[in-house]
Structure formats: structure tokens, C-alpha cells
Amino acid sequence: MILPEKTIERLSKYRRVLINLNFQQKDYIYSHELANLIHITPEQVRRDMMLIGHSGTLRRGYEVKQLIEKINSIIDGNTVQYVTLVGVGNLGRAMLNYLKNKNKYLQIIACFDNDQDKINKMCCGIPCYSINEAEEQIKKLNINIAILTVPTNVANEVADILIKAGIKGLLNFTTMPLKVPSNVYLEEYDMITSLEKVAYFTQFIE
């Protein structure tokens, strides 16, 4: 069964909060405590747990380690997926530093750029290749997820190259909305839109 997107988002947050707050030192957690940590309702937590077939006890709640492992098995499927980041400018480098080593099942093992000063060197500890080698390297390294941080005006073109190379999951941080074939999973996030949204709604606050 493929779980809904919103459920996956919450599972990712449950796991991070449990790990972040060192809740591992606590053996059990109640649904209302977990709900409180990510500011949702206990009912929502219980619905999610039912959906993933995870049960707690009325007296002590959910066993924390077991819950983390359950979420691991769902999100990561206990198999490593290889990831690349494409476009190692300011934003790209920051994302590389921020996202690498955050999840042992998601390994960023290569990045791509068209800048001769970066190609065939290490960028933030990750080998950087020429975008012209993308197809060859992506196939060779068995990479199936790409993070896109190239300039807006080449976003479409680069996405096409990546998809041709076999990328199946794309996280697009450029401000250019992409169109991808139905056998590619696309997640887009536009930081400028978010900031403009905050600005708009802030105007109405007294």
C-alpha cells in the first residue's frame, strides 16, 4: 500500500522529533505527547499509527525505539537510495552541507555543475562532475534521486537531462515549475514564494 503524501510528511516529522529531542532515552511516548511536539491533534497521531499498523498500549503509549524503526522501514524501506545534487552555486552548496548525512539511507554521492573550477574536485566533501557526464555517472552510480538547485533559466533543460539519465525522484528548489513524465516523482519548493506569502499575510496583522 502506498501511503498518502501528508502521512509521509508527518511520519518524517515524528521520526525527526523523536530523534532530535533524544526521546530515545525515554522508552514510551503517548500519542498526545507526540502530537504536542509537532502541534497536531492526538487523533491525527492515532490515525497515522493505525494506518501504518503500529499499536501502543493504553497505559504506556508507543514504544519509542520500535516506532522509529517502524518509520525507518516505511520511509527508507531499509534500502539505501543514492542521491545527486545538481547546480553547486550558493544555494546548492548550502543544501549539500545541510542535507548530507541527515539520513543514512539517503546518500548524496555525487554533484554536477558546469563550472570548470568545480568539476572533478570535491564540493562540500562530495565529488563534482561535469553536467555533460550526468547521464553516464548517474547510471554508473545507480543514482535515482536528484536535488535541483541550478539557475532558473536552465532548470527545464537540466531536468530533462536528469530524467533521460534515469532519475526517478526530483526535488526542485528552483523557482521554475517543472513538467515531468508520470513515472517521475516531483516535489517542488519555491523559497521566494514562501517569503512573499509571509509578506502578504503579515500586512493584515495588527
Residue numbers of the site for a copy of itself (CB under 8 A)?
2-3, 5, 8-9, 12-13, 16-17, 20, 37-39, 74-77, 79, 81, 83, 90-91, 93-95, 97-99, 102-103, 105-106, 144-145, 147, 152-153, 168-171, 175-179, 183-185, 187, 189-206
Please report how close the Cβ of residue 174 comes to a copy of itself at its closest, in angstroms.
10
* Number of alpha carbons in the 13 Å side-chain half-sphere of residue 104: 3
Output 136 or 196, the one with its CB closest to a copy of itself: 196
For the bound state, the minimum distance from the C-beta of residue 22 to a copy of itself, rounded and expressed in Å, comes to 10
Tell me whether residue 12 or residue 114 sits nearer to a copy of itself (CB atom): 12
Collapse the DSSP code of 52 into the 3-class scheme (helix H, G, I; strand E, B; otherwise coil) and give the result.
coil
CB of 153 to a copy of itself, least distance (A): 7
Shortest distance (Å) from residue 57 CB to a copy of itself: 26
Handedness of CA 54, 58, 59, 61 (dihedral sign): positive
The residues, ordered by sequence, that sit 6+ positions from 80 with a Cβ below 8 Å of its Cβ are: 104, 105, 106, 107
DSSP 115-139: -TTTTTSEETTEEEEEGGGHHHHHH
DSSP code for 3: P
| 105/122 with CB nearer a copy of itself | 105
Pairwise CA distance, residues 115 & 90, whole Å: 13
